Amino acid sequence: MASTQPPILDGPLVSPDAAIGASAMRKATGHLIPLIALGYGAAYMDRINISFAALQMNRDLHFSATVYGFGAGLFFLSYAACEIPSNLLLYRFGARRWLARIMVTWGILAMAMLFVRTPWQFYTARFFLGVAEAGFFPGVIFYLTQWFPQELRARAISRFYISLPLSSVFMGLLAGALLNLDGRLGLRGWQWLFLVEGIPPILLGIVFLYLLPDGPLQARWLTEDERAWIIHHVHNDPSLSGQRSHNLSAALLDPRVWQLGLFMLLMLASSYAYTFVAPDVIQRATHLSTSKVGYLIAALSLLGAAAMLINGIYSDRVQRRTPHSIYPRYMHIIPWAFLISAGFFACGLSTNPINVVVAIGAIIIAYNAMQGPLWSLPGSFFQGRSAAAGIATLNMIGMIGGFLGPYFVGFAKDLTGDYQRGLLLMSIPMLLGAFIMFYLRAQTRLRSQTLSPENPVPSS
């Protein structure tokens, strides 16, 4: 089957009218972002709802911290292994059908978690949940690069990615109520959690199948002028700093993909190290009830959502002043990497309730704030099939960190008796990540000095 992605337009083009562009972006934002945000919010909720389920499940099933950490992280290994093939299949069959397939299958498997009884059943369920969800996030990032030009991309990504902290808000408010259903209809509270939270992705998968266009060419709600504006501005992006190639090997062999992937590995190791243990750490420090812990995490996640939107908008404003280079994007990522490191350092040194809550809040805010600028970078490297592969490769490398982080803090807890030392050592990864970003920033500056707008990288 032929690709459904829009073609690159060749030849001289007249600059489109600004009003047409504003109308096109307004329609794309209104029709796509809310739907995609709901889909990713459901995905993230099913990915991490075991952090709340563990408050009952680990005790009921006699899971040690190592068993729990290994199972929580195993999702990310299978997810990473299937990233590239899943994104290439999305490119081949179209976003509408492939994203719908992903959501329906992961919703069914998420609900099946209620039947887990042994460690191996837990490992198996988490493994296949990762297989089912693989490709959703990088597929969405690639999909948005087909709709939004570079100078608007951080804001667009932030608007859909805000579903991550908002899903944490929703889960924090809902988890306590579901866990309190303990004993109803013969089910434990953690089983109700998996059952109820597995339903939304199945319903959303059906909605995606009917409402999501594969690309601008298939969007009936765009005029011809609006469609031409999007295709022109996406495929003639002046900040595109790599080969204008659809070649798969161009993405897999580019050192920037592996450098940025290593940063994401360190970032996601840090993120999921605290995500899967935050309810337990906060409850031990504050002695609050499960419901109040959920409310507290919900409040911190709201702050993260605000940081994500504000930093995404600010980064796009700066980017518009330098349309021929992505050089400024890095300074909207680096300070937040240092703040994540500082948050882990503080959390690892203190058990004071206020210090713990503030430290975890700093990590949540910093992680969310960097996402828009960070995920706007890969789309400036490649186009077409190579972009799909490159973005999937980044996420594949990063997702390995999703396994390492939870497994490490779980192992450290069983070894030392608490989470403190494990969290303290987790201050190191994002220090390394910040230095990777400094290096990429310096390399981008060298590229921008050797390539001028009058002498862009030639088409292949």
Task: Tell me whether residue 317 is in a domain.
Answer: yes
User: Do 194 and 318 lie in a common domain?
Assistant: no
Indicate the SS3 state at residue 188.
Answer: coil
- End-to-end C-alpha distance for the chain, whole angstroms: 24
Q: Are residue 346 and residue 198 in the same domain, yes or no?
A: no
Q: Which two tokens stand for residue 29?
A: 């934002």
Helix (H) or strand (E) holding 250: helix 248-252
392, with CB counted inside 10 A (0-12, 13-18, 19+), is buried
191 and 281 both lie in a single domain: no
Choosing from 177, 196, 230, the residue where a domain stops is 230
Claim to verify: residue 330 and residue 223 sit in the same structural domain: no
d(C-alpha 5, C-alpha 215), whole Å: 6
Asked whether residue 442 is domain-assigned, the answer is yes
> Are residues 297 and 381 both part of a single domain?
yes
372, burial (CB in 10 Å: exposed 0-12, middle 13-18, buried 19+): buried
Within a domain: residue 64? yes
Query: Would residue 252 be called left, alpha or beta, if left means φ above 0 and alpha means ψ between -120 and 50 degrees?
Result: alpha
**pLDDT at residue 362 in the model:** 92
pLDDT at 406: 80
Query: 258 and 392: one domain?
Result: yes
Tens digits of pLDDT across the chain (460 residues):
444 444 433 444 444 467 888 888 889 888 888 888 888 888 878 777 887 788 888 888 888 888 888 888 788 888 888 877 887 888 888 888 899 999 999 899 989 888 989 999 999 989 998 888 888 888 888 888 888 887 777 778 778 778 777 777 777 777 778 888 877 888 888 889 888 888 988 999 999 988 889 888 888 888 888 888 888 877 665 544 444 444 556 666 778 888 888 998 999 898 888 777 788 888 888 888 877 887 888 888 889 888 888 888 888 777 776 655 566 677 888 999 999 999 999 888 888 889 989 999 999 999 989 888 887 777 666 665 666 677 777 778 888 887 888 888 888 888 887 788 888 888 899 999 999 989 888 877 776 666 554 444 433 3
Do 88 and 213 lie in one domain? The reply is: yes
Co-location of 304 and 271 in the same domain? yes
Domain count, the chain: 2
Return the closest-CA partner of residue 290 out of 72, 56, 61.
56
215 and 256, same domain (yes or no): no
275 domain residue, yes or no: yes
Same domain, 299 and 360: yes
Residue 216 and residue 92 share a domain: yes
| Residue ending a domain, choose from 230, 261, 278 | 230
Structural domain of residue 408, as residue ranges? Answer: 250-446
The separation between CA 292 and the C-alpha centre of its own chain, rounded to angstroms, equals 27
Tokens 């400036």 correspond to: 380
Residues 209, 260, single domain; the answer is: no
Residue 357 parent element (H or E): helix 353-376
What is the Cα gyration radius of the chain? 22
The tokens describing 180, both together, are 């309190």
Residue among 133, 77, 127 nearest 105 (CA): 133
In-domain check, residue 137:
yes
Angstrom distance (rounded) from CA 241 to CA 235: 12
Longest Cα separation, the chain: 70
Q: For residues 212 and 102, is the Cβ–Cβ distance under 8 A?
A: no
pTM > 0.85: yes or no: no
Of residues 343, 391, 332, 393, the one with CA closest to residue 365: 343
Sign of the Cα torsion 314, 317, 322, 326 reads: positive
Quick check: is 176 in a domain? yes
Which of 184, 199, 230 terminates a domain? The answer is 230
145: in domain: yes
CATH number, residue 119: 1.20.1250.20
Model pLDDT, residue 245: 47
Report if residue 459 sits inside a domain: no
